[in-house]
A and B are shown apart, each in its own frame.
Chain A
Amino acid sequence: MYRMIAGAMLFAMAAAPAAAHPKLLASMPAEGAAVGSPAEIRLQFSERLFSKMSGAKLVRADGKRAGAVAVNFAEDGKSLMLVPAKPLAAGGYSVEWYGVAGDTHRVTGTVHFTVR
């Protein structure tokens, strides 16, 4: 009995905490960066997102959508890639993303960058 209890507690202590709301860990380009036209914009999240309820759009500084952009998830469900069909013109851009993970909490955010 005591062994079972100790086993359960050790199991719980060894497990990585994984019940946080999903968070954006990093982005490429990074927030506030000034870069050449990126072939791909990549967002890295802390949790596996449900692809059916998560996504992103690329918006220009004037608030309009930045042309055709393919949005895909990496196989691990934690990375979101935006691939513009054509090179991006110089100017300010924002990536408006939204995501839902297993804890059912919907999170949203924006990453800004500039194309030189």
Chain B
Amino acid sequence: MLTDPLAVLLRFALYAVLGLMFGLLAFQQYSPAPARLAGRQVIIAMAALALVLSGSGLVELAARMHGLGLADVGLAEVATILSLPGLGTAFGVRIAALLATIAVMAVRPARDRSALMLAGVALVCLAWQGHAGATEGRAGLGHLLATALHLLAAGIWLGALVMFLAMTARGSQIDRGTLVASLKRFHGVGSMVVATLALTGSVAFLMIAGWPLPAAAFQSPWWWLLALKLVVFVAMLGLAAVNRFRLAPGLAAGQAHAVQWIRCSIALELALGVFILALVAWLGLLAPDPG
């Protein structure tokens, strides 16, 4: 069932690093938290890691698509992948966007909007490496748009969770007022994120599975992994709701141990989010039909 563990691992790492990088930069735009929590060096390191992962991903993809071993991949095979319409272009654009992110972060502060946009472009380019890249015609454009928005929304959520974990960590210098204000700001953003994920996720599902649902539904691992993803997503929503409607008001009211409770719920939510990324990395390589 897991035929390409290296491919799944690289896809997971790319989703995590690119999503988080975009999310951290987005957090700088809407949160009053001090920028030093995810400063330029952090972003530069993440962009450099994403470059290495993208290069590895390119070689792995060239090997898999040509039916070769990793050691047998040469420049010709890599050039063939880069020359493919859509998929190859997305690879090139992603690498260029990452290089530009590093260049911008070398001279500008992490709050800079151009870095956010470049990181967004790099993240959106991942849409071509999965089912959306395989859909043809106008439907293909719709599928790519839905996947791109899905990736951006997921990145914003991921970045916020990591930032809140850093802000509530033991020894964190963040004062309670800043934490309360940051949580409040995220509650608005978070609602948009959840709505976007639900809508774009539904659109992408219908475009992959087809409507009405095929008779062979739930006869391949793709369906069960997707169902698991949904269950985990609902669990994340539950935790987010507890955070928003119980824990955050408690923190604002000065309740004892409120920070610890928030830290626990955020850590759990982040673990579930990372699990979803792993599922997605795998799902993108499977087909819904059992054939």
Contacts and interface: CB of A to CB of B under 8 A. Distances in A.
A18 B130 CA distance: 12
Interface stretch (B14-22, B182-190, B198-206): B198-206
Given A53-B80, A102-B134, A104-B65, A18 B139 contact: yes
Interface residues of B, number: 40
A37 B130 CA distance: 41
Contacts of A48: 136
A106 B67 contact: yes
A9 B203 contact: yes
Interface string B129-146: 111111110011011001
A8 B199 contact: yes
B64 A106 contact: yes
A53 B66 contact: yes
A5 B146 CA distance: 12
Interface string A10-30: 011101111111010000000
A20 B134 CA distance: 8
B289 interface: yes
B214 A17 contact: yes
B287 interface: yes
A98 B67 contact: yes
A15 B140 CA distance: 9
Contacts of B86: 102
A19 B208 contact: yes
Residue of B64, B146, B205, B210 with highest tally of chain A CB at under 10 A: B210
A102 B214 CA distance: 21
Given A17-B209, A20-B287, A104-B129, 4 more contacts: A12-B207, A19-B208, A103-B287, A108-B67
